[in-house]
Amino acid sequence: MKTRITELFGIEHPIIQGGMHFVGFAELAAAVSNAGGLGIITGLTQKTPELLAREIRRCREMTDKPFGVNLTFLPVVKAPDYPGYIRAIVEGGVRIVETAGNNPQKWLPGLHEAGVKVIHKCTSVRHSLKAEAIGCDAVSVDGFECGGHPGEDDIPNFILLPRAAEALKIPFVASGGMADGRSLVAALALGADGMNMGTRFIATKEAPVHEKVKQAIVAASELDTRLVMRPLRNTERVLTNAAVERLLEKERTLGADLKFEDIMEEVAGVYPRIMLDGDMEAGAWSCGMVAGLIHDVPTVRQLIDRIMAEADGLIRQRLAGVLTA
């Protein structure tokens, strides 16, 4: 399948594995790239630029295909060593970066000078247009269904993707609710050039997370996610558990007086305990509504091959059949 995204990134299939905290390690990124998609290492999961450089080297040992690094620009008082992380990316020979969070404009000239293509994650058309205006090469358009941070507009992909297609000139991929060949064909029909999957890639053999995390996704339905931190305008979609329900009760009780400090126990530093140790009640962790479409834990190659075969069948048979009926 050839789209503007496969051409831009030099990949076989228009499928991207987005950055995910304590999920996007070299093992998963390499597996996705080897299967024809674009694997992504999550930069800030590595606590220092030196550790990121080592993770890039590890990934390079596992694949000779293109892979990228996610770099999220956080609105924090003490910022990570972003110049160091970018240096590790460039010196590691990585030529694709997925940016997220704050505006990446100040970092684009250095990345582009090094021959790096940048895809920025956006939750609205206006932010996508801004990313295009500052020189991003592509955008990942995140609908309200997505796990993690869906923004504050609450626009689902059936509306957001066609709007993005109307407004953008640069390529974009659909993110949020993507799980299978149906997702890919729908994304293409709505104007996207491919799809980005997060939650679906967690439930794969190669995802280096605890088996309990994978089984929690398989067991979940589309009704089992919750939106937390809405009062702080930092909305995150997470899989429900005791900690999440406790957090939501704090939000209801404290109302307008809620501060981040009130919910730190449920959200700060919980990812290693959940993803690595399998402590499923440790706190809130990102998960999309797409969990309702996830019923197994295949290898990454099995998953991507299945997606492409299903998409091919839908396009050549079901949709072509509709036209000739």
Instruction: Flag whether 276 is in a domain.
Output: no
Confidence of residue 325 (pLDDT cuts 50, 70, 90): low
Instruction: Flag whether 217 is in a domain.
Output: no
Task: Render pLDDT for 19-72 as a digit per residue (tens, 0 to 9).
Answer: 999 999 999 999 999 999 999 999 999 999 999 999 999 999 999 999 999 999
Instruction: Flag whether 181 is in a domain.
Output: yes
Give this prediction's pTM: 0.96
Instruction: Flag whether 130 is in a domain.
Output: yes
Confidence of residue 77 (pLDDT cuts 50, 70, 90): confident
Task: Render pLDDT for 97-108 as a digit per residue (tens, 0 to 9).
Answer: 999 999 999 999
Long-range contacts of range 315-322, CB-CB < 8 Å, 24 or more positions apart?
Answer: 315/185, 319/185
Instruction: Flag whether 64 is in a domain.
Output: yes
Task: Render pLDDT for 45-57 as a digit per residue (tens, 0 to 9).
Answer: 999 999 999 999 9
Q: At what angle do helices 157-167 and 125-134 cross, to 10 degrees?
A: 30
- Tell me phi and psi for residue 286, to 5 degrees: -65, 135
Instruction: Give the whole-angstrom CA distance, residue 299 versus residue 50.
Output: 30
Q: The domain spanning residue 126 has which CATH number?
A: 3.20.20.70
Instruction: Flag whether 19 is in a domain.
Output: yes
C-alpha distance from residue 213 to each of 87, 150, 192, 245 (Å): 33, 21, 30, 18
Instruction: Give the whole-angstrom CA distance, residue 38 versus residue 154.
Output: 27
Residues contacting residue 315 through CB under 8 Å, at least 6 positions apart = 185
Task: Render pLDDT for 193-232 as a digit per residue (tens, 0 to 9).
Answer: 999 999 999 999 999 999 999 999 999 999 999 999 999 9
| Number of domains within the chain | 1
**What is the extent of the structural domain holding 76?**
4-208
Task: Render pLDDT for 234-277 as a digit per residue (tens, 0 to 9).
Answer: 999 999 999 999 999 999 999 999 999 999 999 999 999 999 99
Instruction: Flag whether 106 is in a domain.
Output: yes
Residue 286 confidence (pLDDT) above 90: yes
Q: At what angle do helices 300-313 and 26-34 cross, to 10 degrees?
A: 40
Confidence of residue 74 (pLDDT cuts 50, 70, 90): confident
Task: Render pLDDT for 109-135 as a digit per residue (tens, 0 to 9).
Answer: 999 999 999 999 999 999 999 999 999
Percent of the residues in the chain that have a pLDDT greater than 70, as a whole number:
100
Instruction: Flag whether 52 is in a domain.
Output: yes
Let me know how long the chain is: 325
